[in-house]
Structure 1
């Protein structure tokens, strides 16, 4: 499909933790941002799953989704995503069935195949045993689809007989399941299962056209989704001036460069800390490369780039990861730069 109108806007939140900020303050800031997104009319608000990172507070999407659902009234809330190899399918199904009961018709279950952490943390998360086998990812996705449905799932014993399993006893609705990925694998699996699909463009950006082409070309219609459904993610900073946008983007650019260089992670720098820090020769090309893929500028500039991105790839929705860092003088339980990004985009797009 193509779109000649402004794309709908959604939010992906990693719950950034800045210098001097506690986990409680970071979560409070993100929940305030979810409220603002709801008031601005955005379509969805998703929480990511990452572990053991000093600058990321989004470790347990279901808990954060429940809190955001309680603070909002109309926006869809969900995961972007639950990293399924870390969890037993029944646990995920039960959590999201409960969320659907808390916020009927507003819950999205985005599922990913990557672990979302380093090998040590991955092993700790998988100590429950073989239920976390990555190779069984396709079957686990299908298990969740069955378990969260009102009909539930039926187990067939090898010795004969059956056993019915329901994620919740009396479901009247189900969360919408999405597959997430940054490679061909999830695109093809989503196509084969007739599920909505999101390419993690904010994370990689490479292979986007191929993944969307595979998804759309191989799509098998399902009862819930007769046509392929997809949108894109993007890292975005919008500010009242281009200079301010660049300043607020630098802390996150530096953090991602450190991550890719396998350097120790720390809390996200403030704008002032990043401006005063030296950028060494190893970081420079990484920062410059990411800067070319991220959307950074005034509200009008960022909105124009988002609209072009949507039209180029034939989507009617963009999920922005608002990565604007905070200034040292700003409240620790607030997120002025991220909120301003959303406000300026809505203003410029008329969304």
Structure 2
């Protein structure tokens, strides 16, 4: 009996570790994307976060252009663009340009969260070139229409102007440069809100299982049961996201996962953050962790895939079956050792290689 075909994809936050500059972190992510392309991964998405010393993924459209130019077949997209931080027209223009440059390889994943703290959110929105979070559904629809080669109709002027003798005018607005096609728009979320909205709009949807690990089944059921077919999508379409660290042995995988696990525990506990520490420093710090931080790490380990290749793939297959998906997007969270080339991420690359190699029939 042959196993059900399973597609693998990658989510990248462009992590920055000690002994790395932002340029080094970007070089390491380029290497990771190139390897994912060679290994046959389905898509490679980059996130949007701001003012985080350990994350260099601040501008998805720019990163997508860089990564798409260095790869040949893999789909490259946003996981996701945080729409309230941006003007819908600007996002539509950026992704139309990317689609024109890399036809058939671009995904536009859209989220509703700010991707930062309140102070940075205020800074991002101080220019006025952003969108109201309460207008999120309308702004998603605007982007869909602007990306359509036929454009969106915009009516300038209304009854008041007409009464004063100025006729209302109708314009067709298109994202430019106009691409031959439009990148698919995905809705991303970690709550029921995005699941319901994606279902009502007939859009593909991804729940942030890698971040929360809870509520996934409920969100996917809401999405699937409430789905209304659209011109772009006839049936529900989704995949699963999961954090993964894979090495030759389970012990090595856990050691490589500790820097990111400790970082996430600090983030969720509201503690100060810095660049991701080395594997050696994380091992040394383990003895001094508070019970609260250790509890956070233990709970994350229950949800992450941290193991040797065969049990890791078995776990991913089991999760895919549990949630009824044929694609899993892994966020490779392996740390690095002291002395590793700062322009590389050997543990993250090795995770992708071991998963792809073990999945081969």
Asked if TM exceeds 0.5, the reply is yes
Give the length in aligned residue pairs. Answer: 349
- Give, in whole Å, the separation in 1 of the partners of 2:306 and 2:68: 29
Offset of residue 280 of structure 1 = 1.4
Gaps of 5+ in 2: 162-167
How far off is 1:128 after superposition? 2.9
Q: 1:107 & 1:78 partners in 2: Cα distance?
A: 5
Alignment partner of 1:270 is 2:257: no
Partner of 2:27 in structure 1? 28
Does residue 293 of structure 1 match 2:303? yes
Match of residue 314, structure 1, among 308, 324, 332: 324
What secondary structure sits across from 2:209 in the alignment?
A: coil
The answer as to whether partners of 2:96 and 2:177 remain within 8 angstroms in 1 is: no
User: Which residue matches 1:170?
Assistant: 178
Higher relative contact order structure (alpha carbons within 8 Å, sequence separation ≥ 6): 1
Q: Deviations over 1:245-288 (max 9, x none)?
A: 00000111100111011111100011001001121122111111
Q: Gapped runs of 5+ residues in structure 1?
A: none
| Pairing 1:236–2:236 present | no
Structure 2 counterparts to residues 72-91 of structure 1, below 5 A: 72-91=71-90
Partner of 1:96: 95
**Would you identify which runs of 4 or more consecutive aligned residues in structure 1 move more than 6 Å?**
none
Structure 1 counterpart of 2:165 = none
Map 1:11-26 → 2, pairs under 5 A = 11-26=10-25
SS of structure 2 residue aligned to 1:202: helix
Q: Which residue of 2 aligns with 1:187?
A: 195
For the residue of structure 2 that corresponds to 1:321, the secondary structure is strand
Name the counterpart of 1:327: 337
1:304 is aligned to 2:303:
no
Separation in 1, partners of 2:130, 2:244: 36
Alignment of 1:109-128 (within 5 A): 109-128=108-127
Q: TM-score under structure 2 normalisation? A: 0.95
C-alpha displacement of 1:169: 4.3
Structure-to-structure mapping, 1:125-274, within 5 angstroms: 125-129=124-128, 131-157=130-156, 158=158, 159=161, 160-274=168-282
Alignment partner for residue 347 of structure 2, among 323, 337, 348?
337
Shift of 1:4: 5.2
Secondary structure class of the residue paired with 1:12: strand
| Contact 2:10/2:44 (8 A) holds in 1 | yes
Structure 2 CA distance for aligned equivalents of residues 283 and 171 of structure 1: 49
Segment drifting more, 103-112 vs 148-157: 148-157
Answer whether contact 2:256 2:279 (CA < 8 A) is retained. Answer: yes
Question: What does the per-residue CA deviation read over 1:126-146, in whole Å, with 9 as the maximum and x for residues that have no partner?
Answer: 113384210000000000000
1-side partners of 2:340 and 2:80: how far apart? 29
Secondary structure, aligned partner of 1:288: helix
**Alpha-carbon deviation of 1:164?**
1.7
Residue of structure 1 equivalent to 2:356 = 346
Secondary structure of 2:217 counterpart: helix
SS at match of 1:104: coil
Distance in 1 between residues matched to 2:173 and 2:142, nearest whole Å: 10
Distance (whole Å) between structure 2 residues aligned to residue 105 and residue 130 of structure 1? 28
Structure possessing the higher radius of gyration over alpha carbons:
2
